[in-house]
Amino acid sequence: MFKKYAWPVVGLIAVAVSAWFLYRELRGVSLDQLGDSFSAISLHRWLLAGVAALVAYIALAGYDALALRHLRRKISFLFITLTSFTTYAISHNLGASVLSGSLIRYRAYSSKGMSAIEIGQLVAFCSFTFALGTILLSGISLTFDPALAGRFIDSLSPEMARAIGILLLLAVAAYVYGSWRGLRPLVLGPIKIFYPNLRTVLLQLVIGPLELLGAAAIIYFALPEAANPGFFTVVGIFLMSFSAALASTAPGGLGVLELLFVKGLPEIDPSDVLAALIVFRLLYLLIPLALSLVVVLVFERNLLRRQS
């Protein structure tokens, strides 16, 4: 009983706490200001944000395609794309994305004859690819812009932030080296983690960052050009905010993402930041969620027809 309700409760607590702190940050922002900020986003920047969202979801399909290639499973790319799109569109909105995403993938890929163990390996591979992309981009961000960490942690010096960034990059380099040299699998109790071949690893290092860059670009294009700190600063803030939002298990990272972004961009009017995050939620979360529900209904209808 405790395990069944633990994560939803943690997510709701994260939403409540973040909402309180967010209210303190935004209590001076009126609905009129927010409306003005939202309407100030030009059609050109809306279109660029839409392209960025498309890039992010194409890269997410690459997660599954690469995992299936690693598992030596041949499934049509259209099926992979629809499964990946549905998985991430729903799981990002529900929270506890690994668990909810696993259930959706199991329903889809088991219809193609994949076993529960294979699907579990696929989920682990996709999760690791995301983590690898996050570590790589975070390492680059902190190494070349160590002042970025000071936006969230005042006590962290630029020298310490750069040292953390270098350590993250060294961890990625060690993973690449292990694949290149064909080292023995890493054993964690009963679990054995095998290094993928070098080509697969290099593709992970492209696909993982590409998805994150696409998602961050949605917010970047929706922010006003005045006082905008630049794309790579926005990427660094997005990495910290989005990772915290996922870790909170809050549905859609609600409140957590907004709180950290407002705190991380003090040079931009909070209403402009909030408007940009509304654009992000529309293009990356809500519109994909609506489309994914259609995909689920069509999939289930076709499955019932085949079984009847």
Q: Determine the Cα–Cα distance for residues 244 and 250; give it in Å rounded to an integer.
A: 10
Q: Determine the Cα–Cα distance for residues 82 and 298; give it in Å rounded to an integer.
A: 11
What's the pLDDT at 73? 92
Q: Determine the Cα–Cα distance for residues 129 and 62; give it in Å rounded to an integer.
A: 10
* pLDDT in single tens digits along all 308 residues of the chain: 444 444 444 444 444 544 444 444 445 455 666 577 777 889 999 999 999 999 999 999 999 999 999 988 999 999 999 999 888 888 877 765 556 677 888 888 988 889 988 888 898 899 899 999 999 999 999 999 998 888 888 788 889 999 999 999 999 999 999 899 888 776 656 556 678 899 999 999 999 999 999 999 999 999 998 888 889 999 999 998 888 777 766 666 666 788 788 888 888 888 888 888 888 988 898 888 888 888 888 877 777 777 66
pLDDT tens column, 20-44: 444 444 454 556 665 777 778 899 9
Angle 85-237-125 (CA atoms, 0-180°, nearest 5)?
40
User: What residue type is 36 in one-letter code?
Assistant: D
What's the pLDDT at 236? 92
What's the pLDDT at 4? 46
For 214-247, give the DSSP string.
Answer: HHHHHHHHHS-STT---HHHHHHHHHHHHHHHHH
What's the pLDDT at 88? 87
What's the pLDDT at 188? 58
Q: Is the dihedral of CA 6, 8, 9, 14 positive or negative?
A: positive
